[in-house]
Structure 1
């Protein structure tokens, strides 16, 4: 049964809101990073994000006769050691991504962040045993070409800082695989709660070595970073529940022109042709990978449980 048209429209609006949320988060990270160390920005993003998230997670429990018990039950897990590993890798990915946003042109940092699905495909092969055939391998190879076009290791434009952005994408891919594994036993709210609950102390510890108390408007930038990150994440999750990932992925690409425009208006940045070309290649590769994965998921749903489906395409 085809979902009604208004459901598709809602999913598109939610994804657009998520995209704007993540784009604004990147802008606020850049503003906050002017004088605040990257580790500290990461800590405040997690702390304010957690404060924004708790009321949303607790609201359903407040409607129950025993709210505290209901909330504890909603976030109970038997996978705490795996969450520690997942959040440690996530913190490393966050730090690399925040550093890239603070020190690279915004368009370059965000373009390289979009290469994460390419590494997710490779990680799924190595960690989940998924099979990938020629067409998706071609998309992965083209994605790497796009990364190389932006990074340009053969030219004077090469910067070691661009490899930090690539490292963030690789680590983000590992996190995505771990979330996929955790989602087999835990609910989405449980995953989100324990991620933030562990992120806050994990990001606080290294930030203490470089601590500098924010002042004035810096508090606004830091609070907005946490709020926009949480809003972006929640809207993204709800959009994917309603719509097809292959249809919604192109909407998420709107983050790139948003941050590129902000980089030009707020920070006097310009975008070179190589970054635009590389970004186009990466976005095309990412879209194709999302399209193939969504098609595979539909085929699995239509044939299950009567017929096993061979994964990969």
Structure 2
């Protein structure tokens, strides 16, 4: 999950750079998906067409549509607000995943973890500060992306119990790239040699980020894995400052810190419970 944070923060930085260079969100999403899918062709060559077969196409179809809309709104937000702000608002995603894991996937979520989730939402309110500052269009788009990404994460968790993680990423990205080809062609702007490198890097990092994310979901409950996503903020802020000279305000750091503290508490408590269960004698 920590590796996924680093890769996806890199995608955010390169996506904002491409947006500031005047490229359409539709083209950015298409090239991100295209090069991401192509980066898995070596695995396809080794493992053969079995990576293209699945019996869960209905579930894939829902995940593909939700993930595609979520990715489009995410890149749109990156054109409007800073990398750090989009990342901070994205912290709502794991909180929503915890709720969804309990209500949809029927995973066990006890009282202390619910309490940590509520504290996390308080941190999100500190970041957004509704009523104290105007909520911009970019913020609303980022919020929509967080909800869609949470839904997509729950679908990935469901698929991870049925299909190979690499297959999930390859099939999803391949179909999404095919869907985005037509709208991207309508707004196509020919990239320079350097921008081709940017898009290739964005695709490769995005693919690695989602492969490691899928493997993390396969390892344990979604509500346990997702708190580690808050490590993405230091990566995002460092890249935003290095590439664009962007900084986020004090209250955003405070809110992110509250969310992070709540998540660390939940993760450490979950680890203690797992160790206690492992030491308990078998009946």
TM-score, shorter chain, exceeding 0.5: yes
Return the offset for 1:77: 0.9
Return the offset for 1:42: 0.8
SS in 1 for 2:260: helix
Residue 10 (structure 2) aligned to one of 9, 13, 24 = 24
Q: Does 1:267 align with 2:254?
A: no
Q: Distance in 2 between matches of 1:188 and 1:124?
A: 19
Residue 209 (structure 2) aligned to one of 232, 250, 255 = 232
Q: Does 1:46 align with 2:14?
A: no
Cross-structure match for 2:119: 142
Return the offset for 1:163: 2.2
Return the offset for 1:89: 0.1
Return the offset for 1:280: 0.9
Cross-structure match for 2:233: 256
Q: How many residues align?
A: 281
Residue 106 (structure 1) aligned to one of 80, 83, 86 = 83
Superposed CA RMSD in Å reads 3.2
Per-residue CA shift, 1:191-244, capped at 9, x if unaligned?
122111211112223333433222342222111110111223334556777899
SS in 2 for 1:168: helix
Q: Distance in 1 between matches of 2:41 and 2:199?
A: 18
Contact kept in structure 2, 1:21 and 1:229, CA below 8 Å: yes
Cross-structure match for 2:56: 79
Q: Distance in 1 between matches of 2:170 and 2:274?
A: 27
Contact kept in structure 2, 1:146 and 1:280, CA below 8 Å: yes
Q: Distance in 2 between matches of 1:157 and 1:227?
A: 36
Under a length normalisation based on structure 2, what TM-score does the superposition of the two structures give? 0.85
Residue 220 (structure 1) aligned to one of 189, 197, 219 = 197
Identify the range of structure 1 (155-164 vs 83-92) with the bigger mean alpha-carbon deviation: 155-164
Query: Is there any run of 5+ residues in structure 2 with no aligned partner, and where?
Result: none
Per-residue CA shift, 1:15-69, capped at 9, x if unaligned?
554433222222111111121011211110000011111213432x2xxxxxxxx
Q: Distance in 1 between matches of 2:163 and 2:225?
A: 25
Q: Distance in 2 between matches of 1:54 and 1:293?
A: 37
Identify the range of structure 1 (23-32 vs 151-160) with the bigger mean alpha-carbon deviation: 151-160
Q: Does 1:283 align with 2:246?
A: no
Return the offset for 1:137: 1.6
Contact kept in structure 2, 1:88 and 1:202, CA below 8 Å: no
Per-residue CA shift, 1:227-285, capped at 9, x if unaligned?
11122333455677789999987775443223212322322322211110111122223
How has the CA–CA distance of structure 1 residues 295 and 48 changed in structure 2, closer, same or farther, with 3 Å as cutoff?
Answer: farther
Q: Distance in 2 between matches of 1:55 and 1:18?
A: 20
Cross-structure match for 1:193: 170
How has the CA–CA distance of structure 1 residues 300 and 175 changed in structure 2, closer, same or farther, with 3 Å as cutoff?
Answer: farther
Under a length normalisation based on structure 1, what TM-score does the superposition of the two structures give? 0.78
Query: Is there any run of 5+ residues in structure 1 with no aligned partner, and where?
Result: 1-14, 62-70, 308-313
How has the CA–CA distance of structure 1 residues 239 and 120 changed in structure 2, closer, same or farther, with 3 Å as cutoff?
Answer: closer
Q: Distance in 2 between matches of 1:272 and 1:53?
A: 39
Q: Distance in 2 between matches of 1:241 and 1:273?
A: 36
Contact kept in structure 1, 2:10 and 2:239, CA below 8 Å: no
Identify the range of structure 1 (29-38 vs 205-214) with the bigger mean alpha-carbon deviation: 205-214
Q: Does 1:210 align with 2:197?
A: no
